[in-house]
Amino acid sequence: MSEKIPIGEKVLMKGNEAMGEAAVQAGCMAYYGYPITPQNELTAYMSRRMLEEGRIFIQTESEIGAINMCYGTAAVGERCMTSSSSPGMSLKQEGISYIASASLPVFFVNVNRGGPGLGNIAPAQSDYFQSTRGGGHGDYRVIVFGPTNVQELYDFTMLGFDVADKYRMPTMILADGILGQMMEPLVLHEYKPLPDLPSKADWRLGDPATKDPLLVTSLVLDVPGMEQRNLDLFHKYEEITKNETRYEEVDTDDADIVLVAYGTCARIARSAMEQAREEGMKVGLFRPITLWPFPSDPLSKLADRVEHMLVVELSLGQMWEDVRLATGLKTKVHLHGRTAGGIPGQADIVEHLQKALDSKSDEIVRNF
Amino acid sequence: MTQKIRCAGFGGQGIVLMGRLIAYSAMVEDKHTTFFPQYGAAMRGGTANCSVIVADCDIAAPTVEEPDVVLIMNGPSLDKFEDTVKPGGWIFYNTSLIDREVKRDDVNVFKVAANEIADEVGSSRSANMVMLGAFVAKLRTIELDTLLTRSLDAQMHGKSERVMELNRKALKRGASLAE
């Protein structure tokens, strides 16, 4: 693959490697990372490709080193990234919080594994709260993409760099071990940046001999100053919620019950939906593509006409809480959650759909 | 058409390569495909398996719970996956390393003496290719010709011509079993 990257053509690639190539194409100038399964192929891919391109690859002494190198690289206005898996992401959270406060663009990837603690290396989505609530300390958010196939891993990596620059903030992909490890055909689209990306000239640090000194810091001791910084972030987040919320709806028009799922789960849910429709149930699918901003408004509208929703996730009710917040008391939100490597079976979901449709008026059906 | 395939054996038998070759061939033939390896703390001699889906439409779930076809290279893998095969599906298994019969009577069984045939061709290391050849010739999920002319070169890039020729021979010998 490395001698000649066939841009524009269809190739068979591993999810982890597809994100790496997309980052290279999008002009990522530095990759910093520390190995951890199940994202190792991304680090390995970058160790080769970044050097081929004459760019920076550093296997850092720790995850904390990697995220803080991103902080520095972003401060001088260069595109950079890091990647890890769950325990490694926990270590990076302090740095991400600093980067969010300093309004710097950094893109990163979490290929979620089973937790809590050191957990295991199996696929999971249990870092949903960590990803969508900021993750570190303080009042901040990270734009979170939840791709569902290898093509989207590629496409949203490119978009992740662009929206990071557009809003000057951290952005990320939340994937799981299946997406990271699987191979699928994808088209290696040429990178086309979003139109009107802002210039970095007025904020990036430069050579003090030719540029006035600037200060990048997350320490603001005076209260009004720090509160204002938070309010500025908050107003930016409102704008992002308006502009960047993404989702997909499938066959929701006539649905009595709608499956809500993202990432790998959305694909299993879709297979279950097709089976359930063959069995006569009217089932739709709602797939959040951005997990933050969460597509609350479209879900709320859907709740006006659908009596039941069934959230399917590789965690025990984390996204379920967001669906309940979005829909209020307008609809019954049932839950099918597996975790720590447990994968919902298609037949289990179909059975759960039937139980949900048959449930009493005040009953929420849960699989555990 | 959607066909779900699981390849299984021990680490070092080229199980993952079998899966990758099927997936790559499917892509070359403009079919939809997805490949997922068992990953993690694996070692030579331990168990290895991977799953591949080949379809003529979008593939939703990438997970394989109930395969249509299993390609089984050693005994522990037959024990593990025999019961998972869909009724009416296919079990291809390596009689060189498995001395028992398949217990199921609701599936099709195809026996391949993969190691012995590979030995005759030149090296038992090509046993996976013998199995793959038998599978594609029998079920035509992908074409033998695609494997020979496109996929081997793409997926085994950098191997010596001697090894490539051995693999091509092993694939053809495997295919001849099913003709």
Q: Quote ipTM for the complex.
A: 0.94
Phi/psi for A275 (5° steps) reads -65, -45
| β-strand partners of A183 | A14, B35
What are the extents of the domains in chain A? 10-244, 249-357
Q: Does domain A10-244 match CATH 1.10.357.10?
A: no
Which residue in B29, B89, B22 sits closest to B56, CA to CA? B29
Contact B35 A343 (CB under 8 A): no
Identical fold for domains A10-244 and A249-357, yes or no, is yes
**Closest CB from B23, B60, B63 relative to A12:** B23
Q: Could you please report the per-residue DSSP string of A132-201?
A: HT-SSSSS---EEE---SHHHHHHHHHHHHHHHHHHTSEEEEEEEHHHHH-EEEEE-PPP-PPTTPPP-T
From first to last of the 368 residues of chain A, give the pLDDT tens digit: 445 789 999 999 999 999 999 999 999 999 999 999 999 999 999 999 999 999 999 999 999 999 999 999 999 999 999 999 999 999 999 999 999 999 999 999 999 999 999 999 999 999 999 999 999 999 999 999 999 999 999 999 999 999 999 999 999 999 999 999 999 999 999 999 999 999 999 899 988 788 788 899 999 999 999 999 999 999 999 999 999 999 999 999 999 999 999 999 999 999 999 999 999 999 999 999 999 999 999 999 999 999 999 999 999 999 999 999 999 989 999 999 999 999 999 999 999 999 999 999 889 999 99
Residue B158 forms contact with A (CB below 8 Å):
no
Looking at the domain covering A249-357, what would its CATH class be?
alpha beta
Best residue of B29, B39, B150 to probe chain A, by most A CBs closer than 10 Å:
B39
Q: Among A92, A99, A27, A83, which Cα is nearest to A56's?
A: A27
Mean of the per-residue pLDDT values for chain B?
Answer: 94
Architecture of domain B2-113+136-160: 3-Layer(aba) Sandwich (3.40)
Residues of B in contact with A177 (CB under 8 A): 39
Does residue B42 carry a pLDDT above 70? no
Contact indicator for A345, B84 with CB cutoff of 8 Å: no
B20 at interface of A, judged by CB pairs closer than 8 A: yes
Q: B63 and chain A: CB distance < 8 Å anywhere?
A: yes
Query: Which residues of B fall within a CB distance of 8 Å from A36?
Result: none
Q: Is the dihedral of CA A232, A233, A235, A236 positive or negative?
A: positive
Query: Strands A80-84, A257-260: parallel, antiparallel or unpaired by DSSP?
Result: unpaired
The total number of residues shown for chain A amounts to: 368
Number of C-beta neighbours around residue B119 at 10 A: 16
Distance from CA of A269 to the nearest CA of B (A): 8
The enclosing H or E element of A261 equals none
Distance CA A307, CA A24 (A): 46
* Residue B54 and residue B26 in contact, taking contact as beta carbons nearer than 8 Å: yes
